[in-house]
Amino acid sequence: MKIPRYPAAERGLAMVVVLVFILILSGVAAFAVRRVMFGEHVARNVLDMEVARQAAEAALRDAERDISLAADVEGAACARGDDRPINSAYGEPNFGTDCPRGQCRFGDQSPAAYYAASNSKSKTNPEPWWPAAMGGVGWKASPPSTCNFTGAVPLGTFTGTPGVTGVSRQPEYLIEYMQRGDDIYFRNTARGWGLDPNTEVVLQSYFKRS
């Protein structure tokens, strides 16, 4: 009599091995996707920062043109008025602590001593471009709606310079009256944004009229 033989019971070892390999491959793929997305995010931020920097550079050049112009510009949003061109009347009311039409002046008697004692932590002798929490007066939440404003000047307001494309807000600048001895010069502070309104760059330059 021949005794029948039955196959050995399956223990599922092969399935466990396959599942482990699938789990490993899934982890590797997820890590690769995460790295790609992180790299794309970093590249996008770098590009947006560069856009904001170039916008701030454009505002600095616009401030220098604003200082140098001698007459109104056709097509500009605002007429230059009696306070522009910036040539002889460097004091009040053309320049003031509330930065009328972007023209700031601090320390009327001794600007050099005023700035030497500036301290943002103690809010001592604030500079106009500091945040409001530090005593600054220059930056506003939104661009001015009229030509009689205080604070920063949006690009092209007095010069007719075309706006910058690909930004969340047009760059703006402040012009500070500075003096060292008999030399009169200006410190221009510009702020630019990228496509993301949270991307912001602040630049400064010193300008002396010839």
Amino acid 6: pLDDT: 56
Q: How confident is the model at residue 18 (pLDDT cuts 50, 70, 90)?
A: confident
More confident residue, 73 or 37: 73
Averaged confidence pLDDT in the chain: 84
Q: Say how far apart CA 175 and CA 178 lie, in whole Å.
A: 9
pLDDT in tens, 148-161: 999 999 999 999 99
Over residues 87-114, mean pLDDT: 76
Stretch among 38-42, 99-103, 124-128 having the lowest mean pLDDT: 38-42
Q: Hey, what are 133's tokens? A: 């929490």
pTM of the entire predicted model: 0.78
Distant-in-sequence, close-in-space partners of 104: CB < 8 Å, separation ≥ 6: 95, 96, 97, 128, 137, 138, 174, 175, 176, 177
Amino acid 200: pLDDT: 94
pLDDT at 210 over 80: no
Share above pLDDT 90 across residues of the chain, in percent, rounded to a whole number: 36
What does DSSP say about strands 172-180 and 183-193: parallel, antiparallel, or unpaired?
Answer: antiparallel
pLDDT at 23 over 90: no
Over residues 174-188, mean pLDDT: 84
**Is the link from the previous residue into 197 a cis peptide, with omega within 30 of 0?**
no
pLDDT at 88 over 60: no
Q: Where are the domains of the chain?
A: 40-207
- Which residues pair with residue 189 across a beta bridge? 174, 204
Q: Hey, what are 157's tokens? A: 């307001």
Amino acid 187: pLDDT: 92
CA atoms within 13 A on the CB side of 207: 21
DSSP characters over 42-111:
HHHHHHHHHHHHHHHHHHHHHHHHHHH--S--TT-SS---TT-S-SS--STTTSBTT-BTTEE---SS-H
pLDDT in tens, 25-71: 888 888 777 877 766 776 788 899 999 999 999 999 999 999 988 88
